[in-house]
Each structure stands twice: as C-alpha cells, then as structure tokens.
Structure 1
Amino acid sequence: MKTVQAEPEVASEIANVFAEAAAGAEAYPEPLSTAIRGLVMRADPTGRDRKSNYIAFLLPSWIGMRTGADPALCRDLAVGNVYAMLHFFLLDDMMDGSDAGMESKRALAVGQLLHALFMERYGRYYPPESLLWTYYRTYLAEWATAVSGEGLRRADPRNPRALARKSAPVKLGAVAILLAAGLPEQIADMEEAVELALASLQLADDWADWREDLPAEERSNAFLTLVRRESLALPEDQPLQERLVLQAIYRKGALEQLASIVLGHGERLSGLSDAAPGLIRFQQEIVAGILNDVQATRDTTDKLAGGGGFSYFLSKMQDL
C-alpha cells in the first residue's frame, strides 16, 4: 500500500508532540524511563518513509481547529494520546504472545506507567467527576470487547463501527475537545466521523497484512472476509489459500470491492455536518493509497496476462 505521508506542518507538529512525550519519561527512574523513551521514539513517524496512524496524535488538534480550542490543551491531549496508544500497543503485544521488545514483566510495568502518564495529561483539565471519564469507560469497553473476541467471528468489512472498536480509545481526544468547547451535542456525529476514518484505516491495514494473517489470523482480517464471502463465495469450511486470494485480487476484483467500501466511508464522512477537515483529509489519504494499489494490480495483470497466461502469472505473484 502507498505510504501515507503527513504534510510538512503536520509532520512538524507530530515531531513536537513526540519530543514532549519522550521528555515525560523522565518522571520515572531508570531503566523504566529509558524503556518508555525508546517506545516513544520507535513510534515517532517523523522523517520515516512509512505509513503513519497519526490520527491518534492529531485528532484533538483537528477538532480543536474547528472549535477554537486552546493549542496548549490540544498539545497536552495529543501527548496523552501517545502514551495511551503505547499502553494499548503493549497490551496488544502481550495478548498476541509477542515480547514488545522487552521482558514481559517489564512490558506490563511500563504499560502501567504509560497509562499513568496519559491520565496525568488528561487530568490537568478533566477532574474525576467529568463526563469525559464516562466516555472513556465506554470506549475502553468497546476496545476490550473487540480484542477479547478477536478470532471468534470473522471481521465484517462492511461494519465500520465494529472495525473501529479496537481503536475506540482514540475517540476520547475528540470528546475532550468538544466538552471543553461546551458542544456535547456534537459528540454523536463526531463519533461516527472518527469511526469511519478508523474503519478505513483498519481495512487498509488488513489489505496490507493479508499474507501475514493467512491462515492463522484469517478471521481477524476484514479483507480476507471480503475475499472469502463476496469475491469467491467460499464455504465456511473450505480453507482460504494464498492462491485463491491472489485469484480474488487479480481476477475477481477483490481490491476494487475494498476500495468501493472505503470510498463509501469517505462519502459518508464528508456528508457529516461539522466533520473536521483534517479528519476528512486523513481518510482521503487512505482512499488514495488503496486506489493506487488498485491501479498497480491492474497494471500487473495486464503485463503478466499478456506475457504467458495466468498460471505463469500466479507463479510469479510471490515475487511481487
């Protein structure tokens, strides 16, 4: 998939957010502060040629630009979101049996410290009785439901709310800005807008990771659900093999189907009143990346199909 690059001013703000997040590690003794700083630096997408999920860091600013929020508030929430993102990253890695680059006991300890740093940033503005924490508990429950049920049922590519649940805590930064602006009535529309963007991101990630997710994690990959149920109409008990996925991509239009879904998310997002322009641009970048891949697959099909037949074409897919 085409790399999603932040605009220069966006990249500058991301660099500032991560620098402040790294500095926050000094609140803890060694070697824990070094471990936190290392995680922050590894997550910093600044200057790297890779896809970035920078919605997690910039959503407060995107909503804040529309509401006239204090930039200091937006920055603190963004830094808090970095800590929260890394906290959930460590939890996800532990659930998946990975070591997160450190021994398991240390990973769990660092995760708790990251959560405390997140709470401290948000707590500067939102006391325990704030309505914000009711939303936080809701989003935490959505995340927990998603990760605990992963693999038990197939991910549904046409259910954006369900696809967004694993990233539900991201929405908290936007709620925080709307509550600070005295605009709680806009929260429902904001939630839908963010969920459409997060679902688009998840679909793009599932497309990029389908080989890695086949066959062990097939049920968790929404693109592979699309391939199985809509492109190939396979019975549930028939194994989905790489050869079949390639046929779905290059002969059955599976990637075009995925692009259609994500384009639909973009249309819904743009049609929402008060949708933040930054959020719309982020989703449009995801669409552009998938459409670029659609064109690339068409070009590959045309070249290889004209040069020796589809059997030869499939034999070469591993090298592409």
Structure 2
Amino acid sequence: MREVEQYSEELEFIFLEASKEMAELPEGLRERGQELLALSHPLRNGGRANRISYLLPYWMRDRTHSPIELCGDLAVGNIYAMLRYFLLDDAMDGMERNPEGIRSSLALGQLLEELFRRRYQRHFPHDSMLWDCYRRYVGEWASAVYSEMAHPINPKDFEALARKAAPVKLGASGLLLHAGMPDRIPDAELAIDMALAALQLSDDWTDWRDDLPSPNGNAFLSIVRSSLPQFAGETLDERAVRTAIYHYHAVDILADIAESYVERLQQDPLVPERLVAFADAIAEGIRKDAERIEKSKLSLAAEGGLSHLLSKIKR
C-alpha cells in the first residue's frame, strides 16, 4: 500500500487517461471496459491488477532518467495490455460460461490491443526494435499458457514462472531503448523475470484450491507433490495439500524459493530499488503466512488440539 500511496498522483493520471479513451469505445464494450478499469484501480478498491504492470515504467525511470510523459504513456498502454490479458485468461480458463460473454471478451480485447499500440506508437514507430521485443514476449506468454498443463511446473525455474506475465517487460525495454541503452535490455529482462516469478509463487499459493482440478500449472502444488511422494501418480485433494502444509512445511519451502529470487535481485546494483522492494514484499508475505501456520500448530499443540487436526488431514 505504501507503493500505491507514493505514486498516487501518477496513478490518478494514468487511470484517468485510460478512462477517457475507453469512453470512446462502442456501447456495451465501453461499459465493460470501464468496469474492468475501475476494478483494477489501486486507489479505489485495492485493484484486481498486478501493480507491476503499470508502475514498472516509473520504477525504471530511476535508471533511465526518461521523460515523465513517456513513462505515463507506457503506463497507460500497459493498463490496456493488462486488461486484455485478463480477458484472454478468463476466456481460456472457462470463466466465461456463455458464447455472448466470450464474444464480448474477444471483441473488447482487440480494442484494448489497439489502444495499447496507439500509446506505444507515439514513441516507437512500427520498425522499432521494441516491436521485436513485443513479439518475443507475446510468444513467451503464448507458449506458457498453451503448455502449462502438460507437466508440473518447477517452482525453481523462474523463467518458466515468469512467462505468463512476459508482456509486462515491454515497458522497461521501451524506456531502455528510448534512453539509448539497448544493451541493458537482457539484464533488465532477467531481473523482471525474477520479480514476476516471486509474484507467480504468491499467486499460486493464494489460488491452490481453485487450481486443484488442474494442478500442473501451480508451483505451490508442485511443491506439495514433491513433499508427498506417495501422491506422485495420484490426484491431489485438499486433504493432501493440508498434509503437506502442516506436516512437511510446504509454505516454508515456497517462501525459501521466493526469497532466493529476491536475494539474486539484491545482488545487482543496477536493478531499480522499487522492483527489488516489490519482490521483497511478496516474499515477505509468503514467509509471514508460513510463520502464521507454524504458530497455529504450536498453539494447537499447547492446547492439545494438534493431534486432532493431524488426524483429520491424514489419509
């Protein structure tokens, strides 16, 4: 929340800019787009969005000394891209249950793609190297969402974890290109991937119940499987996950991995401080959850209720 308050002026500006442009969309799609935008506003309701999507251009400004107008345009463009990927993800995950909703999502997504390109093309013509980066990031995203169910994802493979959010990197690459620093793009991509990987670990911990029917794409459930060898070829259920949490410290393992990504970020002095702080806050949140679980176990043990709890979660 401190991050949001620190950038409150910039956030008000970019969300207002997006709202004005989306007011020009066709009727029906306009209302849905505005609703999604409102849900994502971090100063209104906490936001549905991953804040790195639109704050990254401002974080990178510390390293590129870019014009504030450029940062604003890329941040607005990233809002459109972020909302488009929300729609695509929901459609692919079956969140839209009727054909009309799917048509609406795809139509609105196409309009958001156009608005995104319009913002970026103010600064990067069609033959800019930036669009080569964009095609590569979209390819990473497509590969991730297409193949994520084929095999259990490895929580220690930060590049694989980050691919589902790969287009987020475009804002950083754009600022580096504009600043005449194209040689810095690979290092920036690596750093952002590690921050995105920490974010994905946190999301997977939050979403594990929803992901039980298709666990291969969830890194926390990969940890659960490795903690419970007897489930190697079986379908996970909630009881098995709780066994891994309370018996085998699965959340501690998740926190250890997230913290390892933060430690790597901290070793690079060229990584923007805000990006490091973002990843660190995420890892700290997972660690606090692990500590709460341990305190709960100790409290139950002291009160004589631990054996009852464990008996309920054993198979």
TM interval, short-chain normalised? over 0.9
Q: Give 1:230-309 correspondences, 5 Å limit.
A: 231-309=227-305
TM-score (norm 1): 0.92
Aligned letter for 2:281? E
Gaps of 5+ in 2: none
2:57 maps to 1:53? no
Once residues 5 and 211 of structure 1 are traced to their aligned partners in structure 2, the CA distance between those partners, rounded to angstroms, is: 29
Once residues 161 and 265 of structure 1 are traced to their aligned partners in structure 2, the CA distance between those partners, rounded to angstroms, is: 11
Once residues 51 and 113 of structure 1 are traced to their aligned partners in structure 2, the CA distance between those partners, rounded to angstroms, is: 20
Counterpart selection for 1:115 from 113, 116, 126: 113
Counterpart selection for 1:313 from 309, 312, 315: 309
Aligned letter for 1:82? I
Percent identity of the aligned residues? 43
What residue number does 2:208 align with? 210
What residue number does 1:77 align with? 74
Once residues 86 and 2 of structure 2 are traced to their aligned partners in structure 1, the CA distance between those partners, rounded to angstroms, is: 22
Whether the aligned pair in 1 keeps the contact of 2:40 and 2:48 (CA below 8 Å) is no
Deviations 1:190-240 (A, max 9, x none): 0010000000000001011112211x12111100101111x2233521232
Gaps of 5+ in 1: none
Select the structure with the greater relative contact order (CA < 8 A; seq sep ≥ 6).
1
RMSD value, Cα: 2.0
What residue number does 1:24 align with? 21
Deviations 1:170-192 (A, max 9, x none): 00000000000000111111001
More displaced 10-residue stretch of structure 1: 48-57 or 74-83:
48-57
Once residues 242 and 103 of structure 1 are traced to their aligned partners in structure 2, the CA distance between those partners, rounded to angstroms, is: 31
Deviations 1:68-125 (A, max 9, x none): 1000000110000000011111111111111299722121111100000000000100
Change (3 A) 1:100 1:239: closer
In the TM superposition, structure 1's runs of 4+ consecutive aligned residues that sit over 4 Å from their partners are 49-52, 314-317
- Deviation at residue 310 of structure 1 after TM alignment: 3.4
Q: Give 1:126-145 correspondences, 5 Å limit.
A: 126-145=124-143
Deviations 1:128-162 (A, max 9, x none): 10000000000010000001112111111000000
Aligned letter for 1:287? A
TM-score (norm 2): 0.93
How many matched pairs? 312
Whether the aligned pair in 1 keeps the contact of 2:39 and 2:48 (CA below 8 Å) is no
Aligned letter for 1:128? H
Change (3 A) 1:115 1:52: closer
Whether the aligned pair in 2 keeps the contact of 1:305 and 1:313 (CA below 8 Å) is no
Secondary structure in structure 2 of the residue aligned to 1:151: coil
Whether the aligned pair in 1 keeps the contact of 2:40 and 2:49 (CA below 8 Å) is no
Change (3 A) 1:140 1:51: closer
Once residues 95 and 277 of structure 1 are traced to their aligned partners in structure 2, the CA distance between those partners, rounded to angstroms, is: 35
Once residues 47 and 70 of structure 2 are traced to their aligned partners in structure 1, the CA distance between those partners, rounded to angstroms, is: 28
More displaced 10-residue stretch of structure 1: 77-86 or 303-312:
303-312
